[in-house]
Structure 1
Amino acid sequence: MKRFLYLLFLIFIMVSLLNSSVYADGDGNIDNGGGGMGSGTSENKWTPGYDGVRVTIVRATDDMPISTPIDYSNKQPPTGLVHFGKVSKLHYRKGTALTARVGGYAYKTPLPPMPRIISSGDAVTDIEVIKAYFCSEGAVKMIAHDTGIDYETLTNGNYKLLLEPIAYFTFQGAFMAMTAHEAALYDLQLSGGLRSKMVSLTHQNLPLAMFLENADLGFPAWSGSRNGRVSNDQILTSLGLGIVRFKDAPTTPPPTNQTSVQYRTSTEVITSVRLSTSSQINPKAPASVTFRIMGSSYTVSNIVIPDGDSQLVWVKWRTPSKPQTVTIQVSATAGYLSESSITASIVDLDQNTPPDPKATDRNDSFKPPTVPGYAAKTSASWGIWSAKWHEYWVWIPNWRWISTGPDSGYWHDFGHWEDQGWWDYTWTGYSASLSANQSVLSDAKSPNPTATRMKSGYGIEMNTSTILSSNAHSTHITGAQNAVSYYPEFNYQTYWRLHHLKSSGLSATFWLKPNDYSTYQSRVHFTPIWFPDGSYTPITRILDAWTPDGMLTLQLQSTITISDNLFSDWHIAPQK
């Protein structure tokens, strides 16, 4: 009966689509998969059919979201729903944080109703019906209306639709809504807590409800299993999305140079790869990963990972003192690696020091440049799997007839106890965050120095303090090790000034290198005598605070006011 009703529903959908002028010239870059569902409990359960789709309009030229995402669902979620707001996979990729909220969930009821999006054990979704629905003129006009974008504009080839499947389910007694990407981020926050209760939904049928047939928007096509459990990393990078293009809008493949990194000379760095596995790696046969760097080998042993999951594996090492290119080879005894070869470019920051400032320097055409904003990464998270054997003893019977005579005897069980246990895996999560502050002051040797005002031509002192906060062991992290400042008179490029470590460690402090053009070898940067009155804003990039999840970095900027110049202090005139 269920199958009959489902077929009637598909027929209704197809007829509705045919009545909507067939297609809106949409090209559906969507495929799907899924598998059977486990049994739930009153605290942790999902009812098949409680699904939806988040739609975001994306500009084709630069992959920039230009609409607030809209959620569509055939169901009516309760008012106290727990959700993470309207954030797309593209927004999360650009660094938007996962933030839970209760209530205030907004959604639209689609007309005609959507086909089922997420497969379950007794109902497998039809990807062709899903494609036909979202490529139909009726669906695209509905989306155009709901986002306030003209239909002709939306379909002129300059925009794409990003689709993300949504699941509505109960977790730990709370009714929640989330996309596959949000489920993976939430599971990382809970150190595997979501996966342990809802794996068949959040780490199988939800992320596999949609994935790309062809790379686009910087996401790769999915070539993995269509019905197995997947890892958080696989979800974040490749799963839980579909794309509708119009009039052959260009595709954007993912970056191809993902195995190249840049390090600074004489710096402690952390090089990491991700080890994934489709079958469990346990303590009886643990994996090891070997990094081969500049003639030395570094091996990480005793790695265990549950089936369908992954873990970062890393090595901490010191870069050479001279600039060069280093090839890092990586191999594993089990599972598969995200990279097997990494090209590291070792660069020397102590270059392009500003030239000797002269009293005769002029720049009459100078206009203060816009302060640039370098990409920042101030937090990171990672973790390590461990495993413990869970004993489960089972009696294995072996009944035999014991004869005591021609017509007598008895049965005897020669069975034995057998441990049919399993490995229980535990995820231990770690995190790190970087913060910093900086002071920019007039050189103490300049006449009448103040904290906020100075005359051009004099030097400034720059002092920086940083804090790397983490719950991880020291083998997982480094404090900030480099700082470099850029200045407005050079348009924040061309020349820069390197800082020296004043104190190292997780609470590192920096000050400028001694200035070769200072009479007293002061740790200052001289402002140009011609700099106009007004704000003078140098910026400083804090670099090389390393974690297994990459380098933490941030930008600091402080402003001091220029008023007048040093000639007013040193003017020489005949005595009257």
Structure 2
Amino acid sequence: MKRILSIFIMLALSLTILFPLTAYAVGEGNIDSGGGGMGSGTNENYWNTGDEGVRVTVVRASDHAVVTTPVDFTNKSPDNIQAHFGKVSKISYTNGFSLTPNAQTYTYVNPSKVLPRIISSGSGNANIEAIKSYFTDELIVRYISSITGFNYDTLINGDYKILLEPIAYMTFQGVRIAVTATEAALYDQQLGGGLRSKMVSLSHKNLPLAMFLETPDLGYPAWSGSTTSSASNADIISSLGLGIVRFSEAEPPVVSSHSYTYRVNTEVITSVTVSGGQSDPDHPVTVRFTIGGRTYTVGNVYYPDGDSQLVWVRWTTPSTPQTMTINVSVTGSGRASQGTITANIVDLSGNDPPNPVADDRNDSYSRPSVPNNPQKTSSSWGIWSARWHAYWVWVSDWNWYSDVDEGGHWEDDGSWEDHGWWDFGWNSYSASLSASMSIVPDAKAPTASGKTMKSGYGVNQTTTANVSTNQSSAVTGAQTAVTYFPEFRYQTYWRLLERTSSGYNAKFEFAKNKYSTYNRRTHFTPIWMSDGSYTPYTYLIDCWTPSGMLSINLTDSVTISGNLWSDWHIAPVKP
């Protein structure tokens, strides 16, 4: 008694450890059930409540092809089965497979998680919701995948279904047999009604009514007949003794993108947002960018369920203006998505102001408003990281061992299994852009004083840009600075500044002016410019990050007082 009591205590503890977690459904059960009381048996023809199991087969949804060898699940140890018909599914019988006795030893699997009651009897009815919950539990579906050798991700991608068939272990004419409902009906046909005459409550009522379809599937109809009366062999073969677990089509990873405008010969960051699909480190997403005939691959992309991940690639635009189509493909969970990005590559050079001349006039000039282009001086983004959260569970495997003196005993030959999960963490990154602009009179302006000068002389400009970031691989320095001038109303003509120092501490200056006598880095103010503030405007751009381009508006001024004509002195030549 002490040994028996200790066994029950160990069993109760192991079950408590084994199933503490909430079950997560990954499929949808197309299963219903009926049945009821049982008749009385004889010494040669009987069935005991609980002598049951379920045959499990993976079937391809498109053509109903059987893709795995059926496996019989049971809580029992039916090692005394003397007759059976092999591992044949209902679909195979429907397709013409003949009922054939199998001389090999009957094989079965005891799942680590106990099956719910499958076949109703006089001692109680099966709970169809418990059956559905069991066979749609993610752990059970994964277990089916493992036992059948069929890839889990493929199994649940929507292209396959699990066919379930109730099995009864009964004694018929003194012989222990294992049959599905379909096999029982086919066997009864061979016997001319011999099985029905002895075992009707089981073979033609409770066994076939243990499972039937709620909606048509895999070529079988939904059952609309009686759920409490015995059924005919024809009805059992065509419509009863089956349930189906089906899976929604796997959500493919989705790519979200937008169009870009880039400058020629510029290092840029192109990014997309990926969401949906399987996304843990065991099943990562892969993103491929095809740009100008070259493919850039970003692998090991993952993110929590219901969230997303920014994915980017760093590349250099071509040296000529053009419109490029960037193709993006995303694969994961056995599914793929496609996306396209339009990249408009432009050239800002070639719009330098014309040569100023001494008799230029603009009597109608009025000072324009300084532009205020979109400005973004900081950005942030992040990358998901994942750490495995181990959760060790004792999986029992109780076996009976015979003892010479005491008859035998149970032993738990189970093992610890890691039923853990992935915990996700967010790694934050950011970048910021700061800049300054300085306009000063050119050194060749003879009468300039500080930042005051006469019109008609040149100005020099220096623009500095500073970028700070904690992920330098994902951020470029500022690469483009364009200066616009009030005399052109900040339109029509501009100067593309030359980058004289690169990187995160870049420096920009006017390019050498071809109209300058001394080849100076200068811009000539128009001689007609009225006295007052003269304010060039610079748009600093092309600091690229995964979350977009950083840019900044810059201005600086000199003061115009008089014009260069006042520096001229005309006098007669002395003889």
TM-score range, shorter chain: 0.5 to 0.7
Q: Does 1:467 align with 2:449?
A: no
Between 1:407-416 and 1:533-542, the stretch displaced more is 407-416
Q: SS of the residue aligned with 2:408?
A: strand
CA distance in 1, matches of 2:445, 2:274: 57
The corresponding residue for 1:423 is 422
Distance 2:375 2:337 in 1: 24
Structure 2 match to 1:267: 266
Provide the rounded CA distance (Å) in 2 between the counterparts of 1:370 and 1:386.
48
For the residue of structure 1 that corresponds to 2:566, the secondary structure is helix
Task: Give the length in aligned residue pairs.
Answer: 322
Find the counterpart in structure 1 of residue 376 from structure 2. 377
Between the aligned partners of 1:337 and 1:319, the Cα distance in structure 2 is: 27
Deviations 1:353-396 (A, max 9, x none): 10000101100000011112111000010111121211111001
For residues 318 and 479 of structure 2, what CA distance do their matches in structure 1 show? 15
Shift of 1:301: 1.0
SS in 2 for 1:333: strand
Q: What is aligned with 1:532?
A: 530
How far did 1:407 drift?
A: 6.6
Q: Describe the SS at the equivalent of 1:408.
A: coil
Partner SS for 1:435: strand
- Report the equivalent of 2:497: 499
The one-letter amino acid of 1:370's match is S
Kindly provide the amino acid, as one letter, of the partner of residue 317 in structure 2: T
Partner SS, residue 389 of structure 1: strand
Partner amino acid, structure 2, of 1:414: D
| Paired residues of 1:291 and 1:330 also in contact (CA < 8 A) | yes
**Residue aligning to 1:433:** 432
Q: Which amino acid in 2 is paired with 1:505?
A: G
1:338 positional shift: 10
Q: How does 1:295-314 map to 2 (within 5 A)?
A: 295-314=293-312
Q: CA deviation at 1:309?
A: 0.8
* Deviation for aligned residue 1:529: 0.3
Cα 1:288/1:564, change in 2 over 3 Å: same
Equivalent residue letter for 1:408: G
Q: Give runs of ≥4 in structure 1 deviating > 3 Å.
A: 335-339, 573-576
Instruction: Specify whether residues 501 and 470 from structure 1 end up closer, same or farther in structure 2 by C-alpha distance, changes over 3 A only.
Output: same
SS state of the match for residue 340, structure 1? strand
Partners in 1 of 2:386 and 2:367 — Cα distance?
59
Matched-pair contact (CA < 8 Å) for 2:445–2:457: yes
> 1:404: how far off?
2.3
Cα drift, residue 514 of structure 1:
0.6
| 1:327 equivalent in alignment to 2:325 | yes
Distance 1:288 1:574 in 2: 83
Partner of 1:210: none
Name 2:514's counterpart in structure 1.
516
Distance in 2 (CA, whole Å) between partners of 1:367 and 1:337 is 58
8 Å Cα contact 2:278/2:285 also seen in 1:
no
Correspondence for 1:222: none
Code of the residue aligned with 1:364 in structure 2: it is: D
In the alignment, is the contact (CA less than 8 A) between 1:273 and 1:339 conserved in 2? no
Q: Which whole-Å deviations, capped at 9, do the CAs of 1:461-512 have from their partners, x for residues lacking one?
A: 000111001111x320100011000000000010000111111000101111
Deviation at 1:571, TM superposition (A): 3.9
Match of 1:287 in 2: 285
TM-score, length-normalised on structure 2? 0.54
Letter in 1 for 2:378: S
Partner residue of 1:562 out of 560, 563, 571: 560
Cα offset for 1:406?
A: 9.2
Which one-letter code corresponds to 2:447 in the other structure?
N
Q: In 2, are the aligned partners of 1:459 and 1:525 still within 8 Å (CA)?
A: yes
Q: What is the Cα deviation at residue 405 of structure 1?
A: 5.1
1:115-166, Cα deviation, whole Å (9 max, x unpaired): xxxxxxxxxxxxxxxxxxxxxxxxxxxxxxxxxxxxxxxxxxxxxxxxxxxx
Contact 1:261/1:344, CA 8 A, preserved across alignment: yes
1:317-466 alignment to 2 at 5 Å? 317-334=315-332, 340-404=339-403, 408-466=407-465
What amino acid maps onto 2:524 in structure 1? F
Q: Deviations over 1:295-349 (max 9, x none)?
A: 0000011112111111110010001111111110001112899981011111111
Residue 400 of structure 1: how far off its partner (Å)? 2.2
Letter in 2 for 1:525: H
- What is the one-letter code of the residue matched to 2:290? R
Letter in 2 for 1:399: W
1:328 maps to amino acid: I
Q: Distance in 1 between matches of 2:544 and 2:338?
A: 19
Partner AA of 1:465 in structure 2: T
Secondary structure at the aligned position of 2:329 is classed as strand
SS in 2 for 1:475: helix
Contact 2:331-2:337 at 8 Å conserved across structures = no
Distance verdict in 2 for CA 1:322–1:337, change over 3 Å? farther
2:292 corresponds to which letter in structure 1? M
Structure 2: state its 5+ residue gaps.
1-21, 23-253
- The 5-angstrom pairing of residues 34-53 of structure 1 reads none
Following superposition, the deviation at residue 559 of structure 1 comes to 1.3
CA separation in 2, counterparts of 1:295 and 1:541? Answer: 32
Q: Which residue of 1 aligns with 2:487?
A: 489
Q: Equivalences for 1:39-188 in 2 at 5 Å? A: none
What is the distance in 2 between the residues matched to 1:440 and 1:377? 23
Alpha-carbon distance in 1 for matches of 2:470, 2:456: 46
Letter in 2 for 1:289: V
Counterpart residue type for residue 259 of structure 1? H
Aligned residues of 2:278 and 2:332 also touching (Cα < 8 A): no
Check the 8 A contact 1:265/1:346 in 2, yes or no. yes
- Contact 2:542–2:549 (CA under 8 A) maintained in structure 1: yes
Task: Give the secondary structure class of the aligned counterpart of 2:519.
Answer: coil
SS in 2 for 1:404: coil
Aligned to 1:133: none
Report if aligned partners of 1:395, 1:416 keep a CA contact under 8 Å in 2: yes
Deviations 1:234-291 (A, max 9, x none): 9xx9xxxxxxxxxxxxxxxxxxxx73211001110000000112x5512222211000
Deviation, 1:451, is 2.7
* 1:575 positional shift: 6.0
In structure 2, the partner of 1:62 is none
Q: Is the 8 A contact 2:447 2:454 kept in 1?
A: no
Bigger Rg, structure 1 or 2:
2
Q: Which AA in structure 2 matches 1:266?
A: N
Is residue 273–residue 337 contact of structure 1 (8 Å, CA) maintained in 2? no
**Conserved? CA contact 1:379–1:434, under 8 Å:** yes
Opposite residue 401 of structure 2, the aligned amino acid is I
Gaps of 5+ in 1: 1-37, 39-232, 238-257
The residue type paired with residue 301 of structure 1 is: G
Contact 1:538 1:557 (8 Å CA) reproduced:
yes
SS at match of 1:426: strand
Q: Indicate conservation of the 8 Å contact 2:262/2:344, yes or no.
A: yes
The residue type paired with residue 548 of structure 2 is G
Partner of 1:80: none
Alpha-carbon separation, structure 1, partners of 2:434 and 2:544: 13
Which amino acid in the other structure matches residue 346 of structure 1? I
CA shift in 2, pair 1:571/1:365, >3 Å: farther
- Residue 412 of structure 1 and its aligned partner are, at CA, apart by 0.7
Partners of 1:570 and 1:265 lie apart in 2 by: 44
- Superposition RMSD in Å: 2.4
SS at match of 2:342: strand
Distance in 2 between residues matched to 1:451 and 1:479, nearest whole Å: 32
